[in-house]
Each structure stands twice: as C-alpha cells, then as structure tokens.
Structure 1
Amino acid sequence: MSVVSEIRALNKSPGRSGRKGQGVRTHDGKAAAVFLAPWLIGLVVITAGPMLMSLYLSFTDYNLLSAANFTGLENIQRMLDDQRLANSLGVTMIYVFVSTPIQLAVALALAIFLDRGLRGLALYRSIFYLPSLLGSSVAVAVLWKRVFGAEGLVNQFLAVFGIDGPGWISQPSTALSTLILLHVWTFGAPMVIFLAGLRQIPREFYEAAAVDGASRWQQFRNVTLPMLSPIIFFNLVLGIIGAFQSFTQAFVVSDGRGGPSDSTLFFTLYLYQQGFVNFNMGYASALAWLLLLIVAVFTAINFWASKFWVFYDN
C-alpha cells in the first residue's frame, strides 16, 4: 500500500470521524450557550432573583428605609385579621368571575358574526381588536372616568330623555360595574383567537348537521362549542389570570384609593397601597405570594375541570 493510500485510509478511520463530530457538537454547544446567556441572565436577575427576595421579605417587617426584620409567620396572621384584605378579595372575585365570562361570550358572539365572510373583514377585526391594546392604558381609564362621571357622556345622553343619572363611579353600588364594563369592552384579543378557531372547524360538520335537520342553535351547541372547547379553555385561563392582575383601571378611576367605600379596591391595588403608600413592603410581599397562590389554585381547578368539557380532536 502506498503512502498516499495509508493517509487516505487514516483520514477515513472511525476514530478521526468521531473526534471531528465531537468537535462540531462542542462548538454548537458553546454557540447555544452564548445565545441562551441573555435569557438566563434575565431569568436570574429580573425574574427568579426578585421572586426569591420577595419570598424572603414576606416573612419580614420591611419599610424600605431600614433593614428587614425577620418576623416569621406574623404577616400571615396579619392577613387573617385584615378586614380590608378580605374586602379586596371579595371585590376582586366579583370582578373576575363576572367580567371574564361576559367578555368571552361577547368575544365569541362577535367572532361568529365576523366568520360569516363579511367584506372588509381585516378592517373590522382591527377595529374590534383596538380596545384590547388600549384597555389597560391610563388614557382609556381616564376617558372611562370622564364617560361615567357625574357630568359624563352617559349622563348627558340620559339627560336627553329627562333622566337624571347618578355619578356612576362615585356610587359604591355602581362603581365596580363600570370597571366590569371596561374589562368586557377589551374583548378584542379573545375574539381574534375565537375567529381563528372557527376557521379551523370543517364546513362538512355543519353540512352533515344540516342534512340531519339540526337548527342553527343545535349546530352551535353540538358542533361549534365542542370543536371550539380547547380555544374556550385557553381564553378562559388567560382571561381569569389577566383579570386577577387588573390594576390600572381601578387605580385611575378611584385616584388610587379604591373608593368609594372600597368598592373598587382590587387585590392588586391594595397590595400597591401597602407596599408603596404605607411602605409595608414585607406585608406587600406576602400579599403578592398570596395572589400567586390564588391564581395557581384557580388555574389548577380549570385544568382539572377541563377534562369534563374540553374535547380534543385526536
């Protein structure tokens, strides 16, 4: 065998090929680590680090001006005796479990309406989606306050018919309802998701149901709802989580006080008051973890209950 043949055979040997492949994999691993590094740093510095610090502070008495003083379970005991906390939980529960189903119902109804193939669908979809982009902004909350004020647009409209409307946001009996209406108004995001889901339902299912004599309502109940149930479940989970986190609307409408008579005192607003108004940062951290626990429990309940009404097309 010539020298050239020996060199070629050596280059084609399994050991050399394996070492070359190992070098490529090592290089790819280093490149992946470099690209993942910003995300990992952000996770530790921006997310995980503050969460762990908040968990520690939840067991302390900390006012932002002096060193934290470890108090054990004192903040938990304080929660049990805090009447304003109980009231904020009640207000938040009403807000979440009234506004979220209504919002999803409105979003689904409009999605079905738009699914009929209207001209200018993209324009209608953009117009209906716009409130979702603006609904959590300070500007819209200020506008809502003007609309439902004692001399707002709603009362000006009622005055045309000789009706003297109340100050909707200044009455404990109606203030929360205005915020629920604002949340329902931001139906654009779930509507777009519903519309995408409706487009994935085969038309043959409706044709077969029509041949069997099913009415429109029967088609909706027996075809649309079961086929759309995974999308409904997705929007329901996101809607409940988002409603629990609502803050801007109540803060602006009530000038940060949660009034009148704590009727708009959302849990997040009470947490803000404790942390950044009263400087009870230790107690506010405990409230933040309580909110996380509440959201986790309701999310888990939703996932457990989904097996009874969510149908997946395998």
Structure 2
Amino acid sequence: MSGKRRLLQGYTFMAPALAVIIIFTFVPIIYALYMMFFKVDLLAGTRTFVGLDNYGKIFSDPKFWAAFKNTGEYVMVVVPIQTIIAMVLASLLNSKIKFNRLFLSIMFIPTLTSSSAMTLIFMWLFNNNGLVVNMIDSLFGTKVQFITNPDLALAVIMIMNIFSTVPHFMIVFLSGLQDIPPVLYEAASIDGAGKIKQFFYVTVPQLMPVTFYVITMGVVGCFQIFDQAFILSNGSGGPQNSTLTFTLYIYQLAFTSNDMGRATAMAFILGIIIFMVTFIVNKVMKADEVNG
C-alpha cells in the first residue's frame, strides 16, 4: 500500500471523530467569539453590535465580583483539602490495612451518586430543621442556620463537593502509589526514616505527577461548579449572592436576563481565568520536571 493511500485511509478513519469535534467544539467556540460583541435577545431574535460594551457591563455588575469572590474562595478551600484527604486515605489503603476493600467500596459510593441527589441529601442535612442543625442544637444548645445564612451557605457546598470528589481522587492516588518502587521505602527505612518521614520524603515527591493532575482537575471542576449552587439556591445564588458562582452567573445572564452576548463574554472570562490558574499551578509545581 502506497504512502498516499495509507494517509487517505487514516484520515478516513479519523473523519467521524474530527467531524464531531469540529461541529460540536470548534464551531460553537467561533460562534461564541462572534456573539460576545453583540447584544443578543434570544426571545426577540434580535442582535445589536455593542463591541466591548458587554465586558464593561460585566465588570461593573456587583454580581460578577460576588461570583469572583465566591468561586475564588471555593477553589482555594476545596482543592487543597480534597487533595490532602485523598492522598492520605490512599496511603492508608495502600498500607494494607484490614478491610481495605470494604472501606474502598464504601468510600466510593458518593462518587456513584449523582450531584443532584447529593445536593438534595445535603439540603436535608443542613436545612433549618435538618439532622446536622438539630445535632448541633442538642450538643451545644445553639441553632445554627446554614443554608439561609450568607456566611455559611457556601460552606455547605464546599463540604458536599469534598465529600463527593475525595473518593475519585483517592483512587487516582492509589493507582499512583502502586507504581512507586518498594525499594525506595526499603532504602528510606535502612536510613532510619519512619513511616511519617517516608510519606513526606518518598511518597509525596513520587506522587507529584499524579498530584498535579488531581489539583488541575480539581481547579477546573471547582471553577465550573453549577448544579449544586443552582439547586441549593433555587437558581438565585442566594442568600445575598453568597452561593453565586461563575457558571451560575453565566446561566442567569443567558436565561434570566436574556442576554446571550454578555453570557458568552462571561464564559470567555471564565475560560481565561481557568487557563491562567492552571498555568500558574503548572509553573509552581514544575510538572514538566518531576519524575514520572
């Protein structure tokens, strides 16, 4: 078979996948780039060129800064905690503790539960007459309001996200631990390093490529959080915009304010922020230089 024939055959096999990527990825991105310079009314079907005015409206909107603050806090709290807990649990499981398979199965249940169902469960736990609220009241004599309190509502979503994502990342870390050569632990043990020192000086450095993946996926997932905030606040981002996230703000712009132009502009702002944060994580962790 000639080289040109093989090349044609290869492109023929790739054609269906390339068509899907072009139609459902590149075309929408290009169209969104076009739309963000217009004021688009979906109901009326009108489109008016406004240039960069959409960005001016976004940056002057207090809701944008509320979403920026909430999402930033969410990322800075959830990503480190879920990464540390997942790594520690994976190390415990890898140490051949008894009943580790049963523990692994139980821990993985939250990952198999849909985020909508998980949100409803946590709303039941943390509502004004929920199990957690009543437990705190019986132990400390204080009625703590979570979902209706602007200072605590976002914390409920943080706890829920950590609880539901730790099992998945735990499995990722566990697979990385299986690839660490046992001879490294033996050498560290001969040098007098205990279990804790072995964890910090052998396990953690060897897991750096996996840790970079977990942190990156955690950052992207946290910036894109939508359904939990939407269900918990009934789409309002309340109380007092305390659960308003970037993606919920985009939804409100597109389908509540009926302004798809501003929504697409906001989507590109979110994309740039995710790219910049991921780039910074890459540079700080030096993912290209760690030992895989």
The aligned runs of 1:1-314 (5 Å cut-off) are 21-22=1-2, 25-64=3-42, 65-134=44-113, 137-161=115-139, 163-186=141-164, 187-307=166-286, 311-313=290-292
Aligned length: 290
Tell me the SS of whatever aligns to 1:61. Answer: strand
Q: Report the TM-score, using the length of structure 1 for normalisation.
A: 0.87
Equivalent residues of 1:198, 1:228 under 8 A apart: yes
| CA distance in structure 2 between the aligned counterparts of 1:243 and 1:47, rounded to whole angstroms | 22
Pair member with larger Rg? 1
**Worse-matched range after superposition: 267-276 or 203-212:** 203-212
Runs of 4+ aligned residues of structure 1 deviating over 6 Å after TM superposition are none
Segments of 5+ residues of structure 2 without an aligned counterpart are: none
AA aligned opposite 2:144: P
- Cα deviation for residue 217 of structure 1 reads 2.0
AA aligned opposite 2:69: G
Q: Label 1:155 to 1:204 Cα distance change in 2 as closer, same or farther (>3 A).
A: same
AA aligned opposite 2:33: L
**Worse-matched range after superposition: 170-179 or 298-307:** 298-307
Tell me the SS of whatever aligns to 2:108. Answer: helix
Equivalent residues of 2:38, 2:50 under 8 A apart: yes
Tell me the SS of whatever aligns to 1:69. Answer: strand
- Cα deviation for residue 310 of structure 1 reads 6.0
Identity of aligned residues (%): 33
| CA distance in structure 2 between the aligned counterparts of 1:84 and 1:257, rounded to whole angstroms | 11
**Worse-matched range after superposition: 198-207 or 151-160:** 151-160
Segments of 5+ residues of structure 1 without an aligned counterpart are: 1-20
- List per-residue Cα deviations over 1:70-111 (Å, max 9, x = no partner): 111111211221111011101000001111100111101110
Q: Label 1:218 to 1:120 Cα distance change in 2 as closer, same or farther (>3 A).
A: closer
AA aligned opposite 2:224: Q
**Worse-matched range after superposition: 123-132 or 282-291:** 123-132
**Worse-matched range after superposition: 26-35 or 173-182:** 26-35
- Cα deviation for residue 162 of structure 1 reads 5.5
